[in-house]
Amino acid sequence: MRVILQRVTSSSVVIDGKCVGKSGLGYMLLVGFTHDDTEKDIDYMIDKIIHLRVFSDKDGNMNLSLEDVKGSILSISQFTLYADARKGRRPSFIEAMRPEKATILYDLFNQKLKETGIPVETGIFGADMKVTLTNDGPVTICLESRK
């Protein structure tokens, strides 16, 4: 499982001209799955995301977590995180989990995030989405559930 985490002051996702999800201070997450990802990967990633200390404390040091700042999350499905563009001009997506399985894990990921008490909004799996964000810092971190 891969997640691109961006610390944001705000983010939103629009589908067919309608805003379907947004967040304030917190994270905009791009979330992708590969073939052998399981609920164990989701649990690891959720723990990492909510406890990662990347928000500034009163001294300007990154010492506070999403929980500490009472932030929110906009979660966006993103199969292209598993694109392989090393050969040729067209990326291969064979490492991305098939949509019929990935949508189940994506929904589980978002459900478990919500169960932590953090406000979570999402895009729509497989939709053509227009995502807007104001990256704070900028802080962008690539997370992997496995080595």
List, for residues 15-35, the tens digit of each pLDDT value: 999 999 999 999 999 999 999
Domain count, the chain: 1
- CA-to-CA distance for 67 and 57, rounded, in angstroms? 13
CATH of residue 118's domain is 3.50.80.10
Catalytic site residue 109? no
Tell me, what's the pLDDT at 71?
98
pLDDT of residue 48: 97
Closest CA relative to residue 6, chosen from 52, 57, 68, 64: 52
How far is the CA of 83 from the CAs of 51, 71, 80, in angstroms?
A: 28, 30, 5
Residues spanned by the domain of 124: 2-144
Q: What is the pLDDT along the chain (147 residues), one digit of tens a residue?
A: 999 999 999 999 999 999 999 999 999 999 999 999 999 999 999 999 999 999 999 999 999 999 999 999 999 999 999 999 999 999 999 999 999 999 999 999 999 999 999 999 999 999 999 999 999 999 999 999 987
What pLDDT, on the 0 to 100 scale, is given for residue 16?
97
What pLDDT is stored for residue 146 in this prediction? 85
Among residues 34, 79, 109, 122, the one annotated as catalytic is 79
- The predicted pLDDT at position 125 comes to 94
pLDDT score recorded for residue 65: 98
According to DSSP, the β-strands at 72-77 and 26-32 are parallel
Q: Which of 34, 78, 109, 122 is catalytic?
A: 78
Q: Which of 80, 93, 111, 134 is catalytic?
A: 80
pLDDT of residue 147: 72
Residue 134 a catalytic site member:
no
pTM over 0.85: yes
